[in-house]
Structure 1
Amino acid sequence: MSRRVVRQSKFRHVFGQAVRNDQCYDDIRVSRVTWDSSFCAVNPKFVAIIIEASGGGAFLVLPLHKTGRIDKVYPTVCGHTGPVLDIEWCPHNDHVIASGSEDCTVMVWQIPENGLETPLSEPVVVLEGHSKRVGIVCWHPTTRNVLLSAGCDNQIIIWNVGTGEAMINLDDMHPDVIFSVSWSRNGSLLCTACKDKRVRVIDPRKKKIVADNMDEPICVQEMDTSNGVLLPFYDPDTNIVYLCGKGDSSIRYFEITEEAPFVHYLNTFSTKEPQRGMGYMPKRGLDVNKCEIARFYKLHERKCEPIIMTVPRKSDLFQDDLYPDTAGPDPALEAEEWFTGKNGGPILISLKDGYASTKNRDLKVVKKNILESKPAPKAEHIPIVQKHAPQSSVKMEDKLEEVLREFKSLRDRVILQDRRIARLEEQVSKVAM
């Protein structure tokens, strides 16, 4: 008799578990917009959820500990004039989040230390360059202040958020709508999926496609017969990929190896309720004392439910094999370095003693030639200059910075109102005809 050999893996028995009801976020009106993004973004401090909003677009930002019923008048981030389609936290600053909207703009927001106490309608910067709705925003994994956006105008724009400038425009590589974009681990390449059913690997700084039309997959894994969108989440530390079907009620997870058959099914976590979206916690936000290797934030129609993935272990000691050094919050490069051709892998941190967040610096945007003056020094150098400057000079710089901030805020608001007026005039002219 032949005996089946079971493949050895420390992740064979990974299991998922939903948290108790009192640890969920309840009475949230999750967005009903028909778009294929995850509608949820999380980091070690906050969970952000795109919600239904009248008169524009909005999303909630909740401190992780604020569970239970969320009041209907809880303050939101509400500066967009159209529905918000995608949100993503900056990997290098837990208080900075970017959003893309149907109003054709990308906005970058600074969230206060303890969350919102009043509605936030003034972004740090508004990035304008798309001619149609912006459905994807994606921060560079290892470089400070570099943000990618993709819109229904079939183009990708890469921004230097620190100056508010569009640095790279990839407008001739996709003949149709871009469904998803992902950076490589060191951010030197992009991978895109397009409505034309092609996957492209792109070198954005050379504006060159380096791989296309991948006809021969190394592995084909049958899923099910539903036609819902799959939201994939890959953990490079454990080589596990999690597939969450939008409109489905399950999370399937697989281990990826370098030898054939390459993809190994592990298990499926299922609940009764289908998911409207899914957030994925960075590794530094997990509880290593409970052998937690992943945490998802599942969106229902009216609530957000955390789901914890755990490797069963009896020992209370730190499990080195489950937690290799992982990507930390410090960037390897500054924006200027990356745009001139440098690459840098993630700066790794140990989770042995758990991750303790440090104070995040405010995001500062330095517009070039503002008020016909010289460009201000880079944001990260400002505190050093102030440290040795005379007291009167420090006060003058602070006052000037405050004036410039107010000027920029008013100008951004005027730009948004001008766009809205133009759209209304266009609609009126169509009705009149």
Structure 2
Amino acid sequence: MSFRRGVVRQSKFRHVFAQAWKAEHCIDDVRVSRVTWDSPLCAVNPKFIAVIVESGGGGAFLVVPITKSGRIDQTCSTVCGHLAPVLDIQWCPHDDNIIASASEDNTVKVWQIPDGGLVGPMTEPLVTLEGHSKRVGILAWHPTAFNILLSAGCDNVMCVWDVGTGELVYQLSDAHPDLIYSACWNRDGSAVCTVSKDKALRVIDPRRGTVLKVREKVHDGTRPMRAVFLSDGKILTTGFSRMSERQMALWDTKDLTEPMAMQEMDTSNGVLLPFYDPDTNMVYLCGKGDCTIRYFEVTDESPYVHFLNLYSSKEPQRGAGYVSKRGLDVNKCEIARFYKVHERKIEPISMTVPRKSDLFQGDLYPDTAGLEPSLLAEEWIAGQDAPPLLVSLSGGYAVPPSKHRDTMRGRPKLASQDSGAGAPAAAAPTATPTAPAVARETEGETRGNAADGTADRLKKEDDVLNEILAEMKALRTVVLAQSQRIEILERQLARIEDGDV
């Protein structure tokens, strides 16, 4: 009988190992919020760590530089402008200084954190978004369009905002008959997947306000579920069986009749929070109240979802933050990093692929989504879609010059002309006179300078014209969005008058 080779599945992530950082690198004495909402409680980007904390008489979250370690002083400043507990926080994918927060006070607020962190209590947001009638517990920034933010509340309503103007551009009030548990954009931001208390998975086009696909009873259990879009358009869900066993399922959006894969974990009560890495196609499951983090690789071959390993520790996690690829140490082959939320501590945990070479491992780090947005808000509202703009991590991540930056700064966007603190990269001057060659004669220099002056004037005129055209386009899209909203309201009014509601 011959021995069959190749039984073990080949994967460069089979030996990923997780390691907690030493105690001196943890953040201690954090008064983590005790709200019962099933959010990760923590959000991390390459610059900052944000954690929802306890606060008297309102809602607050702590923001510290990602390099911070040691004890947090009880007098440490927080972002504390909400009137009730904060339920969710999310960093903007296109500006590392911008963070959104959702609260029990029925509002969403957007804040600009100065470089280096807070220097005092922050109570004034850049913008307050009001449109929900009950507490707001879910936030999701658009992955490729600048300043587009989705929120979902306990009023079963999903809102899409242009935070640069503060406008509510789309509202879906009748797509969900029950509480929305989670919402996630797909790779290019053309659709959103949601799961709700009625146990259904929905794929929604927010611009048309239509449900494209629906699958009843994704998981039979009554406890909260989660859903994330994968980069190839498939959807991964976590939930519970009728017997209260925790499950993970993979769905093909072309046919939601049956799951492509279904795995049962254990009978713990904690909600499984999925974190997805589109670059490696790995999924990390952090259960609230668990002492473990499981990780899997999703492939095109059956059984599609492959268990890799689990990280186990003695203390349970209350939540977790997950930093984007731009914040990782590529020299140590670090492919993921979590910030585990304890009762009073934040503990970094690195996921690393063991490699002997000190050279950049290109196979572990394909080009990843950078700060630069693919679209402006008005372009997405007008119907455009675009995949993320990718950057190389070879030699670490550096902020590239922005092709959109002048446009963003010239319009009523978050990266304002005054502060500049929220801009990922400094804007290049719009017209820089070209220095004449040293060897030129004086006459040639004069001619060159005059030509530069004319070019400078023409460039400024072009900029003004482009700004006017962009503003006209933006106003047109706002009028179109409002017309659609009026049409929806008129249909609802007609239904009420006809006695259908």
Tell me which interval the TM-score lies in, with the shorter structure as reference length.
0.7 to 0.9
User: Which residue, out of 162, 176, 188, partners 1:174?
Assistant: 176
Bigger radius of gyration, 1 or 2? 2
> CA–CA distance in 1 between the matches of 2:200 and 2:257?
9
CA contact (8 A) 2:165 2:412 kept: no
- Cα distance 1:83–1:353, how it changes in 2: closer, same or farther (>3 A)? same
User: Which residue, out of 207, 210, 216, partners 2:212?
Assistant: 210
**Residue of structure 1 in register with 2:375 after alignment:** 333
> CA–CA distance in 2 between the matches of 1:345 and 1:328?
12
Shift, 1:3, TM fit: 5.0
1:214-363, aligned counterparts within 5 Å?
A: 214-357=256-399
- Cα distance 1:362–1:249, how it changes in 2: closer, same or farther (>3 A)? farther
CA contact (8 A) 2:367 2:390 kept: yes
CA contact (8 A) 2:186 2:193 kept: yes
Shift, 1:385, TM fit: 8.5
1:21-420, aligned counterparts within 5 Å?
A: 21-213=23-215, 214-357=256-399, 377-379=411-413
In structure 2, stretches of 5+ residues that fail to align are 216-255, 418-426, 433-455, 458-501
Shift, 1:237, TM fit: 0.7
> CA–CA distance in 2 between the matches of 1:344 and 1:46?
27
**Residue of structure 1 in register with 2:421 after alignment:** none
Shift, 1:259, TM fit: 1.5
> CA–CA distance in 2 between the matches of 1:274 and 1:33?
17
Spell out, residue by residue over 1:273-308, the C-alpha distance to the aligned partner (whole angstroms, 9 max, x if none): 110011000011100000000000000000100000
Spell out, residue by residue over 1:311-350, the C-alpha distance to the aligned partner (whole angstroms, 9 max, x if none): 0000001001000000001000000000010001000000
Q: Which has the higher contact order (CA 8 A, sep 6+)?
A: 1
- Cα distance 1:19–1:215, how it changes in 2: closer, same or farther (>3 A)? same
**SS of 2:263 mapped into structure 1:** coil
CA contact (8 A) 1:158 1:168 kept: yes
The one-letter code of the counterpart of 1:250 is: T
The one-letter code of the counterpart of 1:11 is: F
In structure 1, stretches of 5+ residues that fail to align are 367-375, 390-433
**SS of 2:24 mapped into structure 1:** helix
Spell out, residue by residue over 1:18-50, the C-alpha distance to the aligned partner (whole angstroms, 9 max, x if none): 000010010001111000111100000000000
> CA–CA distance in 2 between the matches of 1:144 and 1:247?
35
Shift, 1:362, TM fit: 11
Spell out, residue by residue over 1:388-420, the C-alpha distance to the aligned partner (whole angstroms, 9 max, x if none): 89xxxxxxxxxxxxxxxxxxxxxxxxxxxxxxx
Moved over 3 A (4+): 1-4, 357-366, 376-389
- Cα distance 1:381–1:268, how it changes in 2: closer, same or farther (>3 A)? closer
> CA–CA distance in 2 between the matches of 1:363 and 1:37?
36
> CA–CA distance in 2 between the matches of 1:138 and 1:319?
31
CA contact (8 A) 1:89 1:97 kept: yes
- Cα distance 1:98–1:79, how it changes in 2: closer, same or farther (>3 A)? same
> CA–CA distance in 2 between the matches of 1:113 and 1:358?
18
**Residue of structure 1 in register with 2:238 after alignment:** none
- Cα distance 1:362–1:112, how it changes in 2: closer, same or farther (>3 A)? farther
Number of residue equivalences:
380
CA contact (8 A) 1:162 1:364 kept: no
CA contact (8 A) 1:163 1:365 kept: no
- Cα distance 1:108–1:346, how it changes in 2: closer, same or farther (>3 A)? same
Q: TM-score, normalised by structure 2?
A: 0.73
> CA–CA distance in 2 between the matches of 1:365 and 1:240?
34
**SS of 2:326 mapped into structure 1:** helix
The one-letter code of the counterpart of 1:79 is: G
How many percent identity over aligned positions?
Answer: 64
- Cα distance 1:307–1:175, how it changes in 2: closer, same or farther (>3 A)? same
